[in-house]
Structure 1
Amino acid sequence: MNVLGFGDNTVDRFVDRGIDYPGGNCVNVAVFARRLGLDAAYLGVFGDDDLGTFVRTAVAAQGVAVEHSVVRHGETSVSTLCVRDGDGSSSATTGAASALANRSRWTPA
Protein backbone atom coordinates (compact mmCIF):
# COMPACT_ATOMS: atom_id res chain seq x y z
CA MET A 1 0.00 0.00 0.00
CA ASN A 2 1.23 3.48 -0.88
CA VAL A 3 -1.35 5.66 0.93
CA LEU A 4 -3.44 5.10 4.05
CA GLY A 5 -6.26 7.48 4.92
CA PHE A 6 -6.74 7.11 8.69
CA GLY A 7 -9.52 8.81 10.63
CA ASP A 8 -12.79 10.51 9.85
CA ASN A 9 -15.51 9.86 7.31
CA THR A 10 -18.68 11.84 6.79
CA VAL A 11 -21.47 12.58 4.36
CA ASP A 12 -21.39 15.98 2.65
CA ARG A 13 -25.06 16.84 2.11
CA PHE A 14 -25.76 19.61 -0.42
CA VAL A 15 -29.32 20.59 0.43
CA ASP A 16 -29.61 23.04 -2.47
CA ARG A 17 -28.79 20.24 -4.92
CA GLY A 18 -30.55 17.40 -3.09
CA ILE A 19 -27.42 15.23 -3.22
CA ASP A 20 -25.11 13.47 -0.77
CA TYR A 21 -21.41 12.79 -1.34
CA PRO A 22 -19.19 10.48 0.71
CA GLY A 23 -16.41 12.50 2.25
CA GLY A 24 -14.10 13.41 5.08
CA ASN A 25 -10.48 14.45 4.66
CA CYS A 26 -9.04 10.97 5.19
CA VAL A 27 -11.51 9.37 2.79
CA ASN A 28 -10.86 12.00 0.14
CA VAL A 29 -7.07 11.57 0.36
CA ALA A 30 -7.37 7.80 -0.08
CA VAL A 31 -9.81 8.08 -3.00
CA PHE A 32 -7.80 10.70 -4.88
CA ALA A 33 -4.54 8.79 -4.30
CA ARG A 34 -6.21 5.73 -5.81
CA ARG A 35 -7.38 7.80 -8.78
CA LEU A 36 -3.75 8.82 -9.31
CA GLY A 37 -2.83 5.15 -9.58
CA LEU A 38 -1.49 4.51 -6.09
CA ASP A 39 -2.56 1.61 -3.90
CA ALA A 40 -4.75 3.15 -1.22
CA ALA A 41 -6.61 2.05 1.88
CA TYR A 42 -8.91 3.74 4.39
CA LEU A 43 -8.83 2.85 8.07
CA GLY A 44 -11.58 4.19 10.28
CA VAL A 45 -14.96 3.52 11.85
CA PHE A 46 -18.15 3.46 9.80
CA GLY A 47 -21.55 3.91 11.40
CA ASP A 48 -23.98 1.00 11.15
CA ASP A 49 -26.70 3.21 9.67
CA ASP A 50 -27.66 3.54 5.99
CA LEU A 51 -25.29 6.48 5.52
CA GLY A 52 -22.37 4.49 6.93
CA THR A 53 -23.13 1.74 4.42
CA PHE A 54 -23.37 4.38 1.67
CA VAL A 55 -19.91 5.81 2.50
CA ARG A 56 -18.24 2.42 2.93
CA THR A 57 -19.69 1.09 -0.34
CA ALA A 58 -18.75 4.24 -2.28
CA VAL A 59 -15.16 4.21 -1.01
CA ALA A 60 -14.71 0.52 -1.82
CA ALA A 61 -16.20 1.08 -5.29
CA GLN A 62 -13.34 3.51 -5.97
CA GLY A 63 -10.83 0.70 -5.42
CA VAL A 64 -9.82 1.83 -1.93
CA ALA A 65 -9.29 -1.05 0.50
CA VAL A 66 -11.63 -0.81 3.50
CA GLU A 67 -11.43 -4.34 4.89
CA HIS A 68 -9.51 -3.29 8.02
CA SER A 69 -12.06 -0.61 8.93
CA VAL A 70 -14.78 -1.45 11.43
CA VAL A 71 -18.51 -0.85 11.61
CA ARG A 72 -19.84 0.29 14.98
CA HIS A 73 -23.30 1.10 16.24
CA GLY A 74 -24.09 4.76 15.70
CA GLU A 75 -25.04 7.42 13.19
CA THR A 76 -22.72 8.68 10.49
CA SER A 77 -21.59 12.29 10.65
CA VAL A 78 -23.30 14.63 8.20
CA SER A 79 -21.99 17.99 7.04
CA THR A 80 -24.91 19.98 5.63
CA LEU A 81 -24.04 22.57 2.99
CA CYS A 82 -26.06 25.01 0.94
CA VAL A 83 -24.51 26.95 -1.95
CA ARG A 84 -26.12 30.39 -2.21
CA ASP A 85 -26.68 32.20 -5.50
CA GLY A 86 -24.12 30.08 -7.35
CA ASP A 87 -21.34 32.50 -6.37
CA GLY A 88 -19.26 29.97 -4.50
CA SER A 89 -20.38 31.09 -1.05
CA SER A 90 -21.88 28.47 1.21
CA SER A 91 -23.03 27.81 4.72
CA ALA A 92 -22.37 24.59 6.59
CA THR A 93 -23.55 22.83 9.71
CA THR A 94 -22.48 19.45 11.01
CA GLY A 95 -24.18 16.78 13.05
CA ALA A 96 -25.68 13.32 12.95
CA ALA A 97 -28.66 12.73 10.68
CA SER A 98 -30.92 9.89 9.65
CA ALA A 99 -30.68 8.18 6.28
CA LEU A 100 -31.50 10.18 3.17
CA ALA A 101 -33.55 8.42 0.51
CA ASN A 102 -32.00 10.34 -2.42
CA ARG A 103 -28.32 9.37 -2.72
CA SER A 104 -25.98 9.65 -5.64
CA ARG A 105 -22.88 7.88 -6.85
CA TRP A 106 -19.46 9.23 -5.98
CA THR A 107 -18.86 12.06 -8.45
CA PRO A 108 -16.62 14.78 -6.97
CA ALA A 109 -14.20 16.15 -9.55
Structure 2
Amino acid sequence: MTFIFTPERDPRGENVSEFRAGAKVRYRNMAMPAEIISGPHKSPGNSRYLIRKADGNVSLVPFTDLERIVPRLDQVAGTLAMVLYGRSFASLDTPRKMQVAQAATRALAIADTTRGQV
Protein backbone atom coordinates (compact mmCIF):
# COMPACT_ATOMS: atom_id res chain seq x y z
CA MET A 1 0.00 0.00 0.00
CA THR A 2 1.34 3.42 -0.92
CA PHE A 3 0.64 6.67 0.89
CA ILE A 4 0.80 10.32 -0.09
CA PHE A 5 3.63 10.90 2.33
CA THR A 6 6.36 8.65 3.63
CA PRO A 7 6.40 7.84 7.36
CA GLU A 8 9.22 10.32 7.91
CA ARG A 9 7.94 13.36 6.00
CA ASP A 10 4.54 14.87 5.31
CA PRO A 11 3.67 16.92 2.18
CA ARG A 12 4.83 20.17 3.83
CA GLY A 13 8.24 18.64 4.49
CA GLU A 14 7.83 18.42 8.26
CA ASN A 15 9.29 15.52 10.17
CA VAL A 16 6.43 13.32 11.38
CA SER A 17 8.33 10.25 12.52
CA GLU A 18 7.41 11.17 16.10
CA PHE A 19 3.81 11.66 17.13
CA ARG A 20 2.55 14.95 18.55
CA ALA A 21 0.29 15.47 21.56
CA GLY A 22 -3.37 15.31 20.56
CA ALA A 23 -2.76 13.12 17.50
CA LYS A 24 -5.00 10.11 16.94
CA VAL A 25 -3.12 6.83 16.45
CA ARG A 26 -3.90 3.15 16.10
CA TYR A 27 -2.74 1.14 19.10
CA ARG A 28 -1.94 -2.57 18.58
CA ASN A 29 -4.52 -2.85 15.80
CA MET A 30 -7.40 -1.90 18.10
CA ALA A 31 -10.56 -0.83 16.24
CA MET A 32 -10.91 2.53 18.00
CA PRO A 33 -8.08 5.09 17.82
CA ALA A 34 -6.08 6.21 20.83
CA GLU A 35 -4.96 9.78 21.54
CA ILE A 36 -1.38 10.82 22.29
CA ILE A 37 -1.23 12.70 25.59
CA SER A 38 2.52 13.27 25.75
CA GLY A 39 5.82 11.94 24.53
CA PRO A 40 8.22 10.78 23.43
CA HIS A 41 9.54 9.76 26.83
CA LYS A 42 13.04 8.32 26.64
CA SER A 43 13.48 4.84 28.05
CA PRO A 44 15.81 1.89 27.48
CA GLY A 45 15.02 0.53 24.05
CA ASN A 46 12.26 2.43 22.26
CA SER A 47 10.77 5.80 23.09
CA ARG A 48 7.43 5.59 24.90
CA TYR A 49 4.27 7.65 24.56
CA LEU A 50 1.52 8.30 27.08
CA ILE A 51 -1.79 7.54 25.34
CA ARG A 52 -5.48 7.60 26.23
CA LYS A 53 -7.21 4.56 24.75
CA ALA A 54 -10.80 4.56 23.50
CA ASP A 55 -12.02 3.03 26.78
CA GLY A 56 -10.54 5.97 28.72
CA ASN A 57 -7.57 4.11 30.21
CA VAL A 58 -4.17 5.80 30.08
CA SER A 59 -1.05 3.78 29.25
CA LEU A 60 2.64 4.39 28.63
CA VAL A 61 3.37 2.36 25.49
CA PRO A 62 6.42 1.84 23.26
CA PHE A 63 6.65 3.60 19.91
CA THR A 64 6.56 0.24 18.11
CA ASP A 65 2.97 -0.43 19.28
CA LEU A 66 1.64 2.72 17.58
CA GLU A 67 0.65 3.38 13.94
CA ARG A 68 -0.34 6.59 12.24
CA ILE A 69 -3.90 6.66 10.96
CA VAL A 70 -3.77 7.43 7.26
CA PRO A 71 -6.95 9.00 5.80
CA ARG A 72 -8.82 7.32 2.94
CA LEU A 73 -7.94 10.15 0.57
CA ASP A 74 -4.21 9.61 1.19
CA GLN A 75 -4.55 5.88 0.56
CA VAL A 76 -6.48 6.32 -2.68
CA ALA A 77 -4.21 9.08 -4.01
CA GLY A 78 -1.10 7.08 -3.17
CA THR A 79 -2.47 4.02 -4.92
CA LEU A 80 -3.48 6.04 -8.01
CA ALA A 81 -0.02 7.63 -8.22
CA MET A 82 1.64 4.23 -8.07
CA VAL A 83 -0.68 2.70 -10.67
CA LEU A 84 -0.64 5.64 -13.10
CA TYR A 85 2.96 6.81 -12.77
CA GLY A 86 4.77 3.97 -11.02
CA ARG A 87 6.00 6.38 -8.33
CA SER A 88 4.90 7.45 -4.86
CA PHE A 89 2.66 10.49 -4.54
CA ALA A 90 5.42 12.43 -2.73
CA SER A 91 7.80 12.04 -5.69
CA LEU A 92 5.37 13.50 -8.27
CA ASP A 93 5.65 17.08 -9.50
CA THR A 94 3.01 19.60 -8.38
CA PRO A 95 0.71 19.46 -11.45
CA ARG A 96 0.56 15.65 -11.30
CA LYS A 97 -0.02 15.74 -7.52
CA MET A 98 -2.98 18.05 -8.09
CA GLN A 99 -4.40 15.78 -10.81
CA VAL A 100 -4.02 12.63 -8.72
CA ALA A 101 -5.49 14.29 -5.62
CA GLN A 102 -8.48 15.51 -7.64
CA ALA A 103 -9.01 12.05 -9.16
CA ALA A 104 -8.84 10.48 -5.69
CA THR A 105 -11.39 12.97 -4.35
CA ARG A 106 -13.74 12.20 -7.23
CA ALA A 107 -13.29 8.44 -6.83
CA LEU A 108 -14.16 8.65 -3.14
CA ALA A 109 -17.19 10.84 -3.88
CA ILE A 110 -18.44 8.28 -6.41
CA ALA A 111 -17.84 5.45 -3.96
CA ASP A 112 -19.75 7.26 -1.22
CA THR A 113 -22.73 8.18 -3.41
CA THR A 114 -23.07 4.72 -4.97
CA ARG A 115 -22.68 2.72 -1.76
CA GLY A 116 -25.05 -0.24 -1.79
CA GLN A 117 -25.75 -0.09 -5.53
CA VAL A 118 -24.90 -2.93 -7.87
Identify the TM-score tier after normalising by the shorter chain: under 0.3
TM-score normalised over the length of structure 2: 0.22
1 or 2, which has the higher strand percentage?
A: 1
* Structure with greater Cα Rg: 2
1 or 2, which has the higher helix percentage?
A: 2
